[in-house]
Structure 1
Amino acid sequence: MSGVPHQLARHDYKAFFLLVVLYFLQGIPVGLAFGTVPFLLKSGARETTFTQLGVFALATYPYSLKIIWSPIVDSIYSKKTGRRRSWIIPVQLASGIILWAIGFCVSNNLVFAGIDDSYSTGNAPVKQGVRPTDITTLTICFLLLVFLCATQDIAVDGWALEILSKQSLSYASTAQTVGLNTGYFLSFTIFLTFNSSDFMNRYIRSEPLEYGLISFGGYLKFAGTVYLAVTFYIMFFTNERPSNCSVLPSTAKKSDEKQVIDYNVETGASSISLKNVYLLFFKVLKLPSVRSLMLIHLVSKFAFQCNEGATNLKLLERGFKREDLAVTVLVDFPFEIIFGYYVAKWSSSATFGPRKFERSNFFARMLVGEAGILTPWLWGFLGRLLSAFLAGILVAKFPSDGIVTRSYFLMVIFQHLLGSFMTTVQFVAICAFHTRIADSAIGGTYMTLLNTFSNLGGTWPRLLVMTMIDRLTKHECVGTGAQPLDATDEGLCKAAGGTWMIVRDGYFVSNFCCITVGIVLYFTFIRKRAQRLQLLPESAWHCS
């Protein structure tokens, strides 16, 4: 590919915005499972341990295991409904119903008991707080929801390769970035902001109340309704393939005896048997280029796990007010959308191999090597390392008197913006790269394979790192005379009249280990391997 257009083709506008909406729906469960529920567990029930949060993180694993069933999604479908719509419609219907059902159970204290007590009990609001939560039940509920979301992601990724014309294909990553970020921030940042009574009383209301504007159960039912509304639109107002979309089969001639893919001109889709999808899938796995990329994905996100999984929770634990944190993350939202758009243009303008007429300066070569298609992703990695380092300083320097100064608050905002920006840089850059190298013959499965290992790199270390924080944290029971008391847990300590104090915070040890491992991996393996991969031609990634 010699170059990629900088503008989205006019005839692809409708398909592009449809992709944005579909990725937006995916962002809703992702924001709930990855952000909102862990935040509510830690802020609402202080006794929730980081190990329990690590257990709940198992609910996010379907995103990292979806490659197992992606060939089924790619090969089994109704010809009348369409290859992608056959899965998107029923999966979204089920997701909407489950979201609404979980919301009903939360509102009636059947799941996550007590989280909405401040909103209504009878006719009068009360504030009782979160009661001991059955982590297993909560994990199972969101495991099912994320499983459906992951299945939807397989179908949407495949559809993105088919409903956009070739000249606009690179904008699939832009749609994914804008849609996912918007859905994620709606379910995490914006929801937590308007769920916080402290935020509403401080910034919105003239008379304080004991509850926020939106309950957790109410939001879940609202999200379920949005899912159902969009699904009905897809059922009645969309086609499998727009008539003006130019898609060409990337397969051999039909007369070839080894032909395993039957291209349907009417639907614009490749009809592949389940057996042949798996055969092509294993061919892809044997490609040296794909193996190298998968290895990078598996190890590259370990460095950021402590920061992204525990920093905000540690700030809350130390006394950072929830409404201040809500403002901090709310500031991120417009920047995320702006970042996503411009980073997508940056990534889409890159080409395979070294950039002609462009040579990196000495400083850039030392950090990321010669400029190429993966250069944005490499810069993003270094930026996330810096953000993790700054996060450790912020937690360590939290004011001992609990009073957050303006300068400290601005530093928290800066650290959040830096982390969000660099995460967006990496996400958009790698999505654009995946879209460019994927073989459209098995588009959904190929994209899912690459995205699966990218997601797995961020999920497999989470339980390990969260458990490390608890295991490496050392407590001591101190009496009124500052003398240690013989108490082995917080309950016995308080019963003896002592104070349960942290004498060694496992967060700092874990964050230091993550950052150190990340630096070593980057300069000994990741940078060199990425430089090799960006020099490969597109043919090195195709097996059909």
Structure 2
Amino acid sequence: MTKLSHENSNTSLMKESKPKHNREDGKYNKENIPPQNNDFYNVIFLLLLYTIQGVPIGVSSVVPLIVQDKVSYSQLSVLSLVSIPFSLKLLWAPIVDSVYCKKFGRRKSWIIPLQVLKSGRAVERQSGRALFCSLSMVQYSHSVSVWLGEKGHDINLYFLSAFFFILFFLMATQDIAVDGWALTMLSDENKGLASTCNILGQNIGYCASQISFITLNNKNVCFYIFKKYVKYMHLLFHQSSYYKNLYNNMDMIYPTFQPFIDMNIFLKFWGTFILIVTVFTLFKKEIIYDKEKNNKCIHKSRKDGGKNKGEGRGEDKDEGRGEDKDEGKGEDKDEGKGEDKDEDKDGGKNKGEDKDKDKDEGKDEGKDEGKDEDTDEDKHKDDFKNAKETYKNLYDLIFLPPMKIFIILFLINRLPFASVEVGTNFKMLKKGITKEEFAMFNPFFIPLSIILPAIIGRITQHIKPLHVYYYGYVLRYISNIILSSLIPLTQYMYANKQYLSQLNFYSYYLYIFIAQVFNNLSVDLMTVSSMSFQNIISDPQIGGTYMTFLNTINNMGSHWSTIFLWLLDYTDKTFCYRDVSPGRLENKMH
């Protein structure tokens, strides 16, 4: 009895450990097979690519903070035009989707350089946008430092705008390829994560480049770090006369002390970083989209393998059927005769096959000689045909009724927020708050800019993206009301600074932080959810063009801020009026 019960328990355990078998189609039930997530490394790789897109955006955002007290708002509005390539990239997106080197890869042909020409000033026309961007940042780093007015030079906003315009053009071209690659790189279940990678990566690149420059280019912050370092080294090596003299003469060092980095060093560092990421991309296997095989993504190297697998399955089926028939007839009857006959037949077939092969080889050699001459012309014809077809698909896409609604809504959706979000910080600087006080909040924004998109990305996998977008839109209205209250509050705080306590200013800083976090939350809700919706509805066959079109509409809707920034000069005027009251006449300034 014990043996039987022991055997029964073992068999029950064996049955529980095996997945249930579906007898109808001969496959295991998907419910009992543990899910395999192969997209982890793809997500990390996409984060890297989107991070290097955020670097030029962060670098360009530093420029207005450096020169805002030396130029007018109308001149600053010229700098805001450098992001126009992200709005116009739709014009050349079909070319990026259609023209590429098949051996190198559809997307990698535009992300990685095939050839760098002499002196590193240009690369091959069809590739190398990211590398050329890195070389531009390294090569022109000293010139940008001069144009910014560092070390006594005059500010040249037009050259700065031209440099960053070219930089944004190159990164916008890369963005087309990366957006299209993301649709085929990630599985169907995780396509929505592409929007999270986009926002998260660009936020990391933006914050890392902007905050690192603001911190390491500030003389007071750098001197504080240097002072702490000297103090620590003096305590560690108290017998060293070098650190002792430095520590005792810190006040004398301050007038001649220079920040750790300037724009020259800063651009060289980030240009090198982009170059390293670009080289790393060289070893990434690309997945191509095959519309003939149920619209699935397959590896190039597995095309032939898939065919061979199919042939193998067919052979197994035929062999199995043949064996069953032979067993039904009987194995002992005429085994020797059957074998001899089969050998004779196989020998005859093999001879016929050899003759056919020789004929085919002769024909193929003649064909190949003629094909080699026309390969270049055929490639150009195919590229032109594919680009023309992509432009036609784009034209048809624009006039779809749902797309017309999408275009109208996303062109005007940011109009109510533009004036408040673009002008609040500049107005607060005019009212008395310093750039150092603004920079004080930046270390807290770094983790938030990373955590919030990740959380929102998880939410959009369980809730419809457009529902999340609606909630973000309502919250953004509320956050703009809170932001607009910061301007009169700042004026009051700094006009009465000598009468207010330190506790009042701590409460004021906390209010600024809460207002900025609330605004960032609403912006991230709208951005991540809208991009998640775009990834879901995009067609991988023209993925780069489709995503670029949707992103272009979004970017064009964000340029309301440029108009309102230009109008700030006309609202920042001082007017003189006469106040006539009973028994009193005086001039007042408003």
TM-score, reference length from structure 2: 0.67
Q: Does 1:133 align with 2:225?
A: no
Structure 2 partner of 1:516: none
- Greater shift, 73-82 or 317-326, is seen at 317-326
Q: Report the CA distance between 1:466 and its aligned residue.
A: 1.1
Residue 276 in structure 1 maps to residue 389 in structure 2: yes
Assess, with a 3 A threshold, how the Cα gap between structure 1 residues 224 and 319 changes in structure 2: closer, same or farther. same
1:123 is matched with none
Gaps of 5+ in 1: 1-6, 118-127, 254-261, 352-372, 485-500, 504-544
**Preserved CA contact (<8 Å) 1:82 1:267:** no
Q: Which amino acid aligns with 1:297?
A: F
Query: Structure 1 135/279 Cα, relative in aligned 2: closer, same or farther at 3 Å?
Result: same
Indicate if the aligned counterparts of 2:476 and 2:519 stay in contact, CA closer than 8 A.
yes
Specify whether residues 213 and 313 from structure 1 end up closer, same or farther in structure 2 by C-alpha distance, changes over 3 A only.
farther
Q: Could you say which residue in structure 1 is the equivalent of 2:50?
A: 23
Cα deviations across residues 431-466 of structure 1 (Å, max 9, x unaligned)? 11100011111111000000011011002x123101
The equivalent residue for 1:266 is 300
Does residue 406 (structure 1) correspond to residue 506 (structure 2)? The answer is: yes
Structure 2 unpaired stretches of 5+ = 1-33, 113-127, 229-249, 304-381, 499-503, 578-584
Code of the residue aligned with 2:291 in structure 1: it is: P
Instruction: Give the partner amino acid of 2:148.
Output: F
What does residue 53 of structure 1 align with?
76
Q: CA deviation at 1:342?
A: 0.5
> Percent of pairs identical after alignment?
29
**How far apart in 2 are the matches of 1:413 and 1:187?**
21
1:428 aligns with 2:528: yes
Work out whether 1:154 is the aligned partner of 2:138. Answer: no
Contact in 2 for aligned 1:198/1:323 (Cα 8 Å):
no
Q: Which moved more, 1:389-398 or 1:195-204?
A: 195-204
Structure 2 Cα separation of the partners of residues 104 and 430 of structure 1: 39
**Residues 148-187 of structure 1: pairs in structure 2 closer than 5 A:** 148-187=170-209
Q: Which residue of structure 1 lines up, in the alignment, with residue 131 of structure 2?
A: 93
Aligned amino acid, residue 566 of structure 2: T
- Report how far residue 252 of structure 1 moved: 9.0
Give yes or no for the alignment of 1:471 onto 2:570. yes
Q: Answer yes or no: is 1:331 the counterpart of 2:444.
A: yes
Tell whether the 8 Å contact from 1:8 to 1:171 is kept in structure 2 after alignment.
Answer: no
**Inter-partner Cα distance in structure 2 for 1:329 and 1:28:** 16
Offset of 1:263 from its aligned partner?
9.7
Shift of 1:248: 5.6
Match in the other structure for 1:41:
67
SS for the counterpart of 2:129 is helix
Confirm or deny: 8 A CA contact 2:456 2:528 kept in the other structure. yes
Please name the residue that 2:96 is paired with: 73
Number of aligned residue pairs: give it: 423
Residue 182 of structure 1 deviates from its aligned partner by 0.2
Q: Distance in 2 between matches of 1:462 and 1:502?
A: 29
Cα drift, residue 307 of structure 1: 2.8
Amino acid at match of 1:32: V
Distance, in Å, in 2 between the alignment partners of 1:175 and 1:381 is 22
Does the CA contact (< 8 Å) of 1:70 and 1:154 recur in 2?
Answer: yes
Q: CA deviation at 1:393?
A: 1.0
Q: Deviations over 1:408-449 (max 9, x none)?
A: 011111111111111111111111110001111111100000
- Matched with 2:270 is 223
Letter in 2 for 1:284: L
Secondary structure at the counterpart of residue 508 of structure 2: helix
Q: Tell me which amino acid in the other structure corresponds to 2:300.
A: E
Are 1:83 and 2:106 counterparts?
A: yes
Distance 1:251 1:147, change over 3 A: farther
Match of 1:102 in 2: 140
1:250–1:393 CA distance, 2 compared to 1 (3 A): farther
Task: Give 2:216's match in structure 1, choosing from 175, 189, 194.
Answer: 194
Q: 1:384 to 1:285 in 2, by over 3 A?
A: same
Q: What is residue 13 of structure 2 aligned with on the other side?
A: none
Secondary structure in structure 1 of the residue aligned to 2:102: coil
Which residue in the other structure is 2:475 paired with?
Answer: 383
SS state of the match for residue 82, structure 1? coil
Conservation of the 8 A alpha-carbon contact between 1:241 and 1:267: no
- Residue aligned with 2:574, SS: strand
Residue type at the aligned position of 1:147: F
Which AA in structure 1 matches 2:478?
A: L
TM-score when scaled to structure 1? 0.72
- Contact kept, 8 Å, 1:88 with 1:155, in 2: the verdict is yes
Q: Which has the larger radius of gyration?
A: 2
Q: Distance in 1 between matches of 2:78 and 2:63?
A: 12
Larger displacement relative to structure 2 (447-456 or 165-174): 165-174
Q: Counterparts of 1:389 and 1:202 in 2: how far apart (Å)?
A: 37
Distance 1:196 1:213, change over 3 A: same
The 1:287–1:312 alpha-carbon spacing in structure 2 relative to 1, beyond 3 Å, is same
**Equivalences for residues 320-399 of structure 1 within 5 A:** 320-351=433-464, 373-398=465-490, 399=493
Find the aligned partners of 1:225 and 1:213 in 2 and give their Cα distance.
18
**1:392: Cα distance to partner?**
1.7
Task: State the Cα distance separating 1:264 from its structure 2 match.
Answer: 8.6
What CA deviation, in whole Å up to 9, does each residue of 1:204-246 have, x standing for no partner?
74457454333222111111000111111112x212229xxxx
Q: CA deviation at 1:320?
A: 1.2
Cα pair 1:32 1:187 within 8 Å, conserved? yes
Separation in structure 2 between the aligned mates of residue 304 and residue 136 of structure 1, nearest angstrom: 28
1:280-319, aligned counterparts within 5 Å?
A: 280-319=393-432
Deviation at 1:265, TM superposition (A): 6.9
The 8 Å contact of residues 287 and 299 in structure 2, kept in 1 or not, is answered as: no
- 1:192·1:326 contact (CA, 8 Å) conserved in 2? yes
Tell me whether 1:241 sits opposite 2:354 in the alignment: no
Q: Is the 8 A contact 1:196 1:322 kept in 2?
A: no
Shift >6 Å, 4+ stretches: 250-253, 262-265, 267-272
Map Cα deviations across residues 107-150 of structure 1 (whole Å, 9 max, x no partner).
4x2x2222xx3xxxxxxxxxx6xx54222111111000001111
Shift of 1:287: 1.1
Letter in 2 for 1:92: A
In the alignment, which residue of structure 2 is the partner of 1:112? Answer: 148
Q: State the one-letter code of the partner of 1:56.
A: L
Alpha-carbon distance change, 66 to 9 in structure 1, aligned in 2, over 3 angstroms: farther
The change in CA–CA distance for 1:502 and 1:184 in structure 2 (over 3 A counts) is farther
The aligned amino acid for 1:212 is P
Q: Secondary structure at the match of 1:397?
A: helix
- What secondary structure is seen at the aligned counterpart in 1 of 2:285? coil
In 2, Cα distance between equivalents of 1:15 and 1:77: 22
Q: Give yes or no for contact 1:39–1:313 (8 Å, CA) kept in 2.
A: no
Higher mean displacement: 334-343 or 314-323: 314-323
CA separation in 2, counterparts of 1:308 and 1:98?
A: 31
Question: C-alpha distance in 1, partners of 2:302/2:404?
Answer: 30
Tell me which moved more, 430-439 or 212-221.
Answer: 212-221
Per-residue CA distance 1:445-504 (angstroms, 9 max, x = gap): 000000011011002x123101221112222589xxx997xxxxxxxxxxxxxxxx983x
Residues 1:63 and 2:99 aligned together? no
Query: Which residue of the partner structure matches residue 518 of structure 2?
Result: 418
1:154 is displaced (CA, Å) by: 0.4
- Equivalents in 2 of 1:307, 1:149: separation in Å? 28
